Structure 1
Amino acid sequence: MPHFYNTIQEGRSMATNSTIRLLLEDFHRSVLPTIARELVPRDLSLGSIPRPKIGSTAKVIVGMRRSGKTFRLYQEMLRLLDNGVAPENICYLNFDDDRLRPYNDASISQAIEVFYELHPQSRSDGAYLFFDEIQEVPNWGIVARRILDTEKVALYVTGSSSKLLSEDVTTEFRGRSVAYELLPYSFREFLRARDLEPSERDLYDKECVSAVKNAFGRYLKCGGFPAVQDMDDPERIQALQGYAQLTVARDIVERNGFSNAAYARNLARAAITSSARDVSISRLDNKGRSSGYSPGRAKIVEMLDAFEDAHLVYQAYDFSYSAQKVRLGGMKLYAADPGLYWASIPAADEGHTFSLETAVYLELRRRRTAGRLGDIAMLKLASGREVDFVEGDASIESATRLVQASWSTESEKTREREIRALREALERFPSAQATIVAVDEEDNVETPEGGIAIVPAWKWFLEAPGNN
Structure 2
Amino acid sequence: MGKKVIQEIILWQQDFIKNIKLQKRNIKIDPVGNYVFVGMRRAGKTYMLYQYIQQLLNEGHDAHEILFVNFEDERITDIKKEDLHIIIDAYSELFVHEPIIFLDEIQNIDGWEHFARRLADEGRRVFITGSNAHMLSREIASTLGGRFLMQEIWPFTFSEYLQYKGVVLQPHWHLTSQKAEVVRLLSDYFYFGGLAESFSFIDKRLWLTSLYQKVLYSDIIIRKGIRNERSMTLLIRKLADSVMQPMAVKRLQNILQGDGTKINRNTISTYLSYLKEAYLCFSISNFTDTIPQREVMQKHYFYDNGVLNLFLINPESKLLENVVSIYLLRTYGEGLFYYNRNVEVDFYIPSEQLGIQVSYDMSDQETRNREVSALVKLNAFKPLKRSVVITYNEESSIVIGNQTIEIIPVWKWMLEG
TM-score category, normalised to shorter length: over 0.9
The separation in 1 between residues aligned to 2:396 and 2:364, in whole angstroms, is 14
Does the alignment pair 1:171 with 2:131?
Answer: no
What are the ranges of 5 or more consecutive residues in structure 1 without an aligned counterpart?
Answer: 1-14, 52-56, 393-397
Question: Contact between 1:342 and 1:351, CA under 8 Å: does it hold in 2?
Answer: yes
Question: Is 1:213 the equivalent of 2:183?
Answer: yes
| Letter of the 1:223 counterpart | G
Separation in 1, partners of 2:262, 2:155: 32
What's the % identity of the aligned pairs? 26
Alignment partner of 1:238 is 2:217: no
Say yes or no: does 1:149 pair with 2:124.
Answer: no
CA distance in 1, matches of 2:175, 2:158: 19
1:327 to 295, 310, 321: 295
Q: Matches of 1:71 and 1:78 in 2, distance apart?
A: 10
1:449 is displaced (CA, Å) by 5.1
Residue type of the alignment partner of 1:230: S
Shift of 1:356: 0.7
**Which among 302, 305, 308 is matched to residue 338 of structure 1?**
305
The question of 1:421 aligning with 2:393 is answered: no
Specify the alignment match of 1:101 in structure 2. 77
Q: Does 1:300 align with 2:272?
A: no
Give the counterpart letter for 2:344 in structure 1. E
- CA–CA distance in 2 between the matches of 1:458 and 1:427? 29
Query: Cα offset for 1:201?
Result: 5.0
Partners of 1:155 and 1:462 lie apart in 2 by: 34
Q: Write out aligned runs for 1:223-372 (5 A).
A: 223-232=193-202, 235-320=203-288, 322-328=290-296, 330-345=297-312, 349-368=313-332, 371-372=333-334
2:5 matched residue in structure 1: 19
Amino acid at match of 1:220: F
Q: Which amino acid aligns with 1:34?
A: N
State which of 124, 128, 131 in structure 2 corresponds to 1:160: 131
- For residues 416 and 145 of structure 1, do their structure 2 counterparts lie closer, same or farther at Cα, with a shift above 3 Å needed? same
Selected match of 1:50 from 31, 34, 37: 31
Q: CA RMSD in A?
A: 2.0
For 1:16 and 1:204, locate their aligned partners in 2 and report how far apart those are by CA, in whole Å: 62
Kept in 1: contact 2:353–2:383 (CA 8 A) = no
- Kept in 2, the 8 Å contact 1:103–1:138? The answer is no
Equivalent position of 1:54 in the other structure: none
Higher mean displacement: 437-446 or 134-143: 437-446
| Secondary structure at the counterpart of residue 208 of structure 2 | helix
Structure 2 CA distance for aligned equivalents of residues 81 and 273 of structure 1: 47
1:227-265 CA distances to partner (integer Å, 9 max, x unpaired)?
211222xx3212212212211212112222222223222
Instruction: Give 1:183's match in structure 2, choosing from 154, 159, 165.
Output: 154
Structure 2, unpaired ranges of 5+ = none
What amino acid maps onto 1:366 in structure 2?
R
Specify the code of the residue in structure 1 equivalent to 2:71.
F
- For 1:417 and 1:107, the matched residues in 2 are separated by 61
Whether the 8 Å CA contact 2:38–2:130 is kept in 1: the answer is yes
What residue in structure 2 maps to residue 3 of structure 1? Answer: none
Post-superposition Cα deviations, 1:358-380, rounded to whole Å, max 9, x if no partner, equal 00111112223xx43xx111111
One-letter identity of the residue aligned with 1:209: K
Q: CA deviation at 1:197?
A: 4.2
Would the alpha carbon gap of residues 119 and 391 (structure 1) be closer, same or farther in structure 2, given more than 3 Å must change? farther
Distance 1:198 1:110 in 2: 49
Report the CA distance shift for 1:23/1:168 in structure 2 as closer, same or farther (over 3 A): farther
Q: Secondary structure at the match of 1:100?
A: coil
**Other structure's SS at 2:81 match:** coil
Query: Take 1:247 and 1:353, find their aligned partners in 2: how far apart are those partners?
Result: 25
- The offset of 1:140, in angstroms, is 1.0
The number of equivalent residue pairs is 417
Aligned counterpart for 2:100 among listed residues 119, 122, 128: 128
Deviation at 1:23, TM superposition (A): 0.8
From 8, 15, 40, the equivalent of 2:23 is: 40
Q: CA offset at residue 204 of structure 1? A: 3.7
| Structure-2 change in CA distance of 1:228 and 1:453 (3 Å) | same
Cα shift readout 1:156-181 (whole Å, capped 9, x = no counterpart): 11111112443343221233322222
- For the residues of structure 2 that align with 1:200 and 1:158, how far apart are their CA atoms? 37
Which residue identity lines up with residue 379 of structure 1 in the other structure? Y
Query: Which position in structure 1 is the counterpart of 2:110?
Result: 138
What is the SS of the residue equivalent to 2:23? Answer: coil
Report the secondary structure of 1:213's partner residue.
helix
Instruction: State TM-score, norm by structure 1.
Output: 0.84
* CA deviations over 1:282-306 (Å, ceiling 9, x no partner): 3322232233222211101110111
Shift of residue 49, structure 1, vs aligned partner: 3.5
Q: In the alignment, is residue 68 of structure 1 matched against residue 44 of structure 2?
A: yes
Residue in structure 1 matched with residue 339 of structure 2 by the alignment = 379
Q: Give the Cα–Cα distance (whole angstroms) in 2 for the partners of residues 174 and 313 of structure 1.
A: 28
